[in-house]
Amino acid sequence: MKIIHHDEQEHKIKLEPQCPEDLWYLQKIIEPGDGVEGVSFRRFKSEGEEGESGEKKKVHILLRAEQVEFAENALKLRITGKIESGSPEEFAPKGAFHTLDIEVHERLTLYKTLNAYHWSILNDAKKRSSHVKAFLVVLDEHQATLAELQLQGLRFIAEIHFRGTKKDPKAFEEAQKAYFSEIAKALEGKDHLVIAGPGFAKDNLKKYLDEKYPAVSKKARFEYAASAEKPGVYELLKRGVIEKALGEQRLAKEFELMEKFKASVGRDDHLCAYGLADVKAAVEAGAASDLMISETLMKDKTIQSIMDQARRLGAELHVFETDSQPGAELKAFGLAALLRYPIWK
């Protein structure tokens, strides 16, 4: 998600969705009653024309949203409501119903007061729409092909070749270490890693990373691919491996937070809080480091106020969807927080 302009005083933010996933995020932010401005087309009928005939005219429209729908199959966000203003005026009469169809890379201006929940969604969208979405490696015993998946598409960035021979076992082992080391160094500091291949090379690389580069290994997902060349990378994309890996990383974070929370409850170490009153007190004291909220509470004004204050005081906000295991567990508590220091004895 690209934030082009934000005017807090006018409660106005101009956005540009960068990928289809951003349209899904916008659906969570835009609510009935919000003002939405964008470019669209309206069918204009000349006097005497009947039925569906008429010429489509380009118009600039501001409408008051009444219904928001993400048409996943068409990859459009459909925002329907009454026109408040438009130009040319003769093609966009005030009070008429209209639907703005927002597509990827199509800008819109949203008029609303953004609370902490909305900002958490936007920040999540910005992270997921970062310049590089994933780093891919396909390898076998002879070569590795490295690529990065960007918003603009796929870019192949390097080929690394194995220089050893099995005729000299000692030299072969040293060459393999050098081969794996070169791959590992290329992946250091990168997120969203997928490593795949047709044989044992990826398994041997995993063992090497576990021992020498555990931080890289922890971020990587290991998969099968039939080729260590470009077709192997395309195979991963066609199978939806990248989307699955990104989704699982978010889920892994939710599991991690819930495990920390449950462990704190079990130890009774006063480094967590749950329930409205205790979480509110922890947030107000500035003690909350991570605030976890079930998505079922998002419409509650009191919860939104707590989220606003938590965000101002530097807490990380995590909204859990209820259809995941961590989300189902959190639903029993409603909201919870991990604390920087105990505020109760």
Q: Are both 208 and 163 inside the same structural domain?
A: yes
Buried b (16+ CB within 10 A) or exposed e, 237-260: beeebbeebbeeeebeebeebbee
Q: At 223, is the pLDDT very low, low, confident or very high (cuts 50, 70, 90)?
A: very high
Residue 53 is predicted with a pLDDT of: 58
Q: Are both 97 and 139 inside the same structural domain?
A: no
CB of 7 closer than 8 Å to CB of 111? no
Residue 131 is predicted with a pLDDT of: 47
Q: Is 93 inside any structural domain?
A: yes
User: For 9-39, what is each residue's pLDDT tens digit?
Assistant: 889 999 998 766 678 789 889 999 999 999 9
Q: Are both 97 and 163 inside the same structural domain?
A: no
Q: At 284, is the pLDDT very low, low, confident or very high (cuts 50, 70, 90)?
A: very high
Greater confidence, 105 or 73? 105
Residue 296 is predicted with a pLDDT of: 79
Q: Are both 222 and 261 inside the same structural domain?
A: no
Residue 39 is predicted with a pLDDT of: 94
Q: Is 214 inside any structural domain?
A: yes
Q: Are both 333 and 262 inside the same structural domain?
A: yes
Looking at the chain, the whole-number percentage of residues with pLDDT higher than 70 is: 89
Distance CA 10, CA 63 (A): 17
Q: Are both 194 and 138 inside the same structural domain?
A: yes
SS (H, E, C) 77-133: EEEEEEEEEEECHHHCCCCCEEEEEECCCCCEEEECCCCHHHHHHHHHHHHHCCCEE
Query: How large is the average pLDDT for residues 158-181?
Result: 89
Query: How large is the average pLDDT for residues 228-248?
Result: 80
Q: Is 127 inside any structural domain?
A: no
Given a cut of 50, whether residue 151 has pLDDT beyond it is yes
In the structure encoding, which two tokens stand for residue 41, read together?
Answer: 């087309």
User: For 51-104, what is each residue's pLDDT tens digit?
Assistant: 555 678 899 999 999 999 877 556 689 999 999 999 998 888 999 999 999 988
Confidence (pTM): 0.51
Query: How large is the average pLDDT for residues 174-187?
Result: 94
Q: Is 47 inside any structural domain?
A: no
Q: At 48, is the pLDDT very low, low, confident or very high (cuts 50, 70, 90)?
A: low
CATH number for 210: 3.30.420.60
Q: Which residues, 6 or more positions from 130, have their beta carbon under 8 angstroms from its beta carbon?
A: none
Quote the strand ranges of 8-96, DSSP E: 12-16, 35-44, 55-71, 76-87
CATH number for 63: 2.30.30.870
Q: At 301, is the pLDDT very low, low, confident or very high (cuts 50, 70, 90)?
A: confident
Q: At 239, is the pLDDT very low, low, confident or very high (cuts 50, 70, 90)?
A: confident
Residue 254 is predicted with a pLDDT of: 85
Q: Are both 147 and 85 inside the same structural domain?
A: no
In the structure encoding, which two tokens stand for residue 4, read together?
Answer: 């082009």
Q: Is 246 inside any structural domain?
A: no
Q: Is 126 inside any structural domain?
A: no
CB of 63 closer than 8 Å to CB of 32? no
**Which residues span the domain enclosing 12?**
2-42+54-115
